[in-house]
Homo-oligomer: A and B are copies of this chain.
Amino acid sequence: MIKASKKIYLDYASTTPTDPKVLGAMLPYFSNKFGNTVSFHKRGADAMEAVENAREVVARFINAKPSEIIFTSSATESNNLALKGIAWANAFKGKHIIISSIEHDCVLNAAGWLKTQGFEITELPVDKKGFVLLKDLKNSIRKDTILVSIIHGNNEIGTIQDIRAIGKICRKNNIYFHTDAAQSFGKIPIDVIKDYIDLLTASSHKIYGPLGAALLYKRSGVPITPLLHGGGHEQNLRSSTVNLPAVIGFAKAVEICSKNKMETEKLTKLRDKLIRGIIKKIPDTKLNGDPKQRLQNNVNITFSFVEGESLLLELNMAGIYVSTGSACSSNSLSPSHVLMALGKNPEDAHGSIRFSLGRPTKESDIDYVLLVLPQIVKRLRKLSPFRKNNRV
């Protein structure tokens, strides 16, 4: 067993630390500048002004109007609001919804619940790289289709869908298009107009902003039913006292992303170094997802003849923090639905690990992983019931 000499967090797709500049921007709003945006006095008005400034920042970032941004508490909430909100508000038009088979659990399970409420869900298959095929989408559209929800950058395998082409098809067919951009927002440029997006989910804590803030972009005129009824905040679409410090932090995190053009280049380089290194140094490994059309920080590798959980435990002991599948489903014993959708067998799906790089990741971190990982895999394969005869 390799003992940790370093601590290397490579699970930034799961959550990120809050940027000190973000925290600095938030701090005054906990005390000196605290307030409820709907209070009818100076403190309330100041809070409202701060929230509206934040709304403008995040709206501009995706070429939306401020009035099209609904602040929520999380990407899970935004995705639930998009799916259920569209379903409830448009059921009179039809009850058919299309998603992909590699959605995040929150889209998948929200859709699953809608099934119990009389909606019909079509799950589009993906190819071996994780792409939805446009012809499949076109073929699945029906007269009663009200919504297409397809993830932008996949959280597990990093594959980036051509959302512009998908959006165009939806717009042409008068069907609302939602994309879960929790992993891509802040990493890949998004233009809700040029990309024909009707609804989009983005999250703060994936981009070095605080937990507790996320958004649902909703194009003007698209009708949705709220998930949270109450005092009428967020244009009556998401009642709840607005989480002032979190929203301020979210906007600051977006501002930092928008100025940080070098990050993509740096992370892409480190990502590719890690991929190449693993494939070269460790036999019977395979990159999952597309090598090019992938999130700048995502590395997902199948290590054949290894149990992913064991690999994860050993890496943990070595101070390397990674995930199998998405963080959210990593406590479940069933193989990742995303990897299964790529056509993997359950053993290979179980033997897959996601490394997700982040802003603080250094080249020396990658070097350390490439030093430690091959030894761990080699040892585990010796113990593995899955091992190929003499190969490993």
Inter-chain CA distance A227–B234, complex, in Å, is 18
CB distance from A337 to the nearest CB of B (A): 12
Q: Which A235-254 residues sit within 8 Å CB-CB of chain B?
A: 239-246
Interface size on A, residues (CB 8 A): 73
CB < 8 Å: which of B23, B110, B241 contacts A30? B23
Per-residue B-contact encoding for A202-216, CB less than 8 Å = 1, 0 else: 000100001110000
Asked if A332 is an interface residue, CB under 8 A from chain B, the answer is yes
Across the interface, do A76 and B240 meet the contact criterion of CB distance under 8 Å? yes
Known: A14-B36, A34-B16. A212 touches B328 (CB 8 A): no
Across the interface, do A239 and B105 meet the contact criterion of CB distance under 8 Å? yes
Asked if A233 is an interface residue, CB under 8 A from chain B, the answer is yes
> Which among A40, A43, A106 has the highest number of chain B CB atoms within 10 Å?
A40
Across the interface, do B312 and A239 meet the contact criterion of CB distance under 8 Å? no
Across the interface, do B42 and A18 meet the contact criterion of CB distance under 8 Å? no
Asked if A44 is an interface residue, CB under 8 A from chain B, the answer is yes
By a beta-carbon cutoff of 8 Å, the part of chain A in contact with chain B is 9, 11, 14-18, 20, 23, 27, 30-32, 34-36, 38-44, 73-77, 79-80, 104-106, 109-110, 112-113, 205, 210-212, 225-233, 239-246, 309, 312, 315-316, 321-324, 326-332
Chain B contacts for A30, CB-based, 8 A: 17-18, 23, 210
Inter-chain CA distance A34–B76, complex, in Å, is 19
Known: A34-B16, A210-B30, A246-B211. A312 touches B229 (CB 8 A): no
Known: A205-B241, A210-B245, A326-B231. A9 touches B43 (CB 8 A): yes
Known: A39-B330, A239-B328. A230 touches B76 (CB 8 A): yes
Across the interface, do A17 and B41 meet the contact criterion of CB distance under 8 Å? no
Question: How many copies altogether?
Answer: 2
CB distance from A141 to the nearest CB of B (A): 24
Across the interface, do B38 and A328 meet the contact criterion of CB distance under 8 Å? yes
Q: A18-B31, A40-B312, A233-B328 are in contact. List 14 more A-B contacts (CB 8 A).
A: A14-B44, A14-B241, A36-B327, A38-B330, A39-B330, A40-B323, A41-B321, A73-B243, A77-B228, A105-B239, A109-B229, A113-B226, A211-B243, A232-B332
Chain B contacts for A321, CB-based, 8 A: 39, 41-44
Chain B contacts for A44, CB-based, 8 A: 11, 14, 321, 327
CB distance from A206 to the nearest CB of B (A): 9
Across the interface, do B34 and A14 meet the contact criterion of CB distance under 8 Å? no
Known: A240-B76, A246-B211. A39 touches B14 (CB 8 A): yes
Inter-chain CA distance A76–B240, complex, in Å, is 5
> Which among A76, A79, A211, A328 has the highest number of chain B CB atoms within 10 Å?
A211
Inter-chain CA distance A42–B323, complex, in Å, is 11
Across the interface, do B34 and A18 meet the contact criterion of CB distance under 8 Å? yes
Across the interface, do A36 and B11 meet the contact criterion of CB distance under 8 Å? yes
Across the interface, do B230 and A79 meet the contact criterion of CB distance under 8 Å? yes
Inter-chain CA distance A18–B77, complex, in Å, is 25
Across the interface, do A17 and B31 meet the contact criterion of CB distance under 8 Å? yes
Inter-chain CA distance A243–B232, complex, in Å, is 23
Q: Nearest B residue to A212 by beta-carbon distance?
A: B212
